[in-house]
Amino acid sequence: MAKAGVMGAGSWGTALALLLHKNGHEVTVWSIDEAEIRMLSEEREHKSKLPGVKLPEDMEFTTCMEKAVKGKDFIVLAVPSTFTRGTARKMAPYVAEGQMIVDVAKGIEEATLMTLSQQIEEEIPQADVAALSGPSHAEEVGRGLPTAVVIGARTKKTAVYLQEMFMNEVFRVYTSPDILGMELGGSLKNVIALAAGIADGMGYGDNTKAALITRGIAEIARLGVKMGGALESFTGLTGIGDLIVTCASVHSRNRKAGYLMGQGKSMQEAMDEVQMVVEGVYSTKAAVKLGEKYGVSLPIINKINEVLFEGKDPKEAVNELMLRDSKTENTALKWKE
């Protein structure tokens, strides 16, 4: 049995806390929100974000960061991406040399273009930082539905240890040394999911969504490989796998926000109605900047940026994508003659 601290009591943090508890670990969950901690402690259920999923009596909930971090075998950092750096900075005094921190959020910091693990490493240099990613909606993990994810770490030893901590008969965990590729896939797919949601909201069909998913992963992989990620990460669970589920699932907050925008609502109105952090909105500007920095063409991502922040009509954006100059699908494939 290990001692685990879970930082963040949203749907994903709560679902992973329950998973770890079922695996026999001693779990302490932290949140900055006193009302949230009081609800979890008294009701043993996250009424708004994970309704119907009961939490065990011996799972501890606290607003004391030191209590959730000190002496733990590993920490799960599950706060929204926009709060990752700030939370890591506050955690730093309590983190021991070599203590493992598993980031499970997805995003890119607009100001620095750093992934979440890079932010954590900058704020907590003494930590052993890893990442968990893949097609894994909290609503399904909390209910114990079969799920497969990937643990990325700097060393095989850390990856295998964390694999053992998380894996069970309904939660299959693979390992990878490519944290960068994993994080880029997990962050950028949210932008494509906004596009898929917009298309759904406008009444477009499965053909449209298939095109967005397929050409979307091509954009993500182009940029990711140029930045140093491995192509295999984008063709696996943390790339195309995560992209498919985020573009198609009823649980996807990014798809839902896009759907509402496709029906005519503004970005802010859509985010307010979703009532959860829509990570794709925050990653879009960073993705555009990365494309410019590395000289990579990102037509879908650029159009979503125009819709979100420049007032472009979604229908016009789709028309412009469809009427782009004709080209070959994959430049790596060569004609024989």
Query: Residues 16-51: pLDDT tens digits?
Result: 999 999 999 999 999 999 999 999 999 999 988 899
Average pLDDT, the chain: 94
For residue 325, pLDDT over 90 is answered with: no
Strand ordering across the sheet containing 100-103: 60-62, 26-30, 3-7, 74-77, 100-103, 128-133, 147-152, 171-176
What pLDDT was estimated at residue 87? Answer: 98
Question: Are the CB atoms for 75 and 101 separated by under 8 Å?
Answer: yes
Q: What is the pLDDT of residue 39?
A: 94
Fold of 180-322: N-(1-d-carboxylethyl)-l-norvaline Dehydrogenase; domain 2 (1.10.1040)
189 labelled catalytic? yes
> For 207-221, what is each residue's pLDDT tens digit?
999 999 999 999 999
- What confidence score (pLDDT) does residue 278 get? 77
Reply yes or no on whether the pLDDT at 320 is more than 90. no
> Per-residue pLDDT for 277 more than 80?
no
* Continuous H helices in the chain: 11-22, 34-43, 65-69, 84-91, 116-123, 138-142, 156-166, 179-201, 206-227, 231-234, 242-248, 253-262, 267-274, 279-294, 299-309, 314-322
- Read off the pLDDT of residues 106-147 as tens digits, 9 standing for 90 and up: 999 999 999 999 999 999 999 999 999 999 999 999 999 999
Span(s) in the chain for CATH 3.40.50.720? 3-177
DSSP 170: T
SS3 152: strand
- Model pLDDT, residue 321: 82
Average pLDDT over residues 160-175: 98
Query: What is the DSSP track for 82-111?
Result: GGHHHHHHHHGGGPPTT-EEEE----B-TT
Distances (CA, A) of 160 to 11, 23, 108, 157, 327: 25, 16, 26, 5, 43
In this structure, how many other beta carbons lie within 10 angstroms of the beta carbon of residue 113? 16
* Active-site residue (options: 49, 72, 106, 189): 189
Beta strand 50-54 pairing with 45-46: antiparallel
pLDDT-wise least confident of 133-147, 154-168, 246-260: 246-260
Q: Using the 8-state DSSP alphabet, how is residue 200 labeled? A: H
Instruction: Reply yes or no on whether the pLDDT at 204 is more than 90.
Output: yes
Q: How distant, in Å, are the alpha carbons of 36, 87, 249, 273 from that of 135?
A: 26, 25, 10, 23
Q: What are phi and psi of 22, to 5 degrees?
A: -65, -25
pLDDT at position 282, please? 83
As a whole number, mean pLDDT of residues 180-204 equals: 94
Q: Quick one: average pLDDT of 179-193?
A: 95
CATH T-level topology, domain 3-177: Rossmann fold (3.40.50)
Query: pTM of this prediction?
Result: 0.93
pLDDT band of residue 322 (cuts 50, 70, 90) is confident
pLDDT at residue 67 in the model: 97
Q: What is the mean pLDDT of residues 296-308?
A: 93
Instruction: Give me the mean pLDDT over the 285-301 stretch.
Output: 96
> Given this model, what pLDDT does residue 72 score?
98
- Per the DSSP assignment, residues forming a β-bridge with 6 are 29, 76
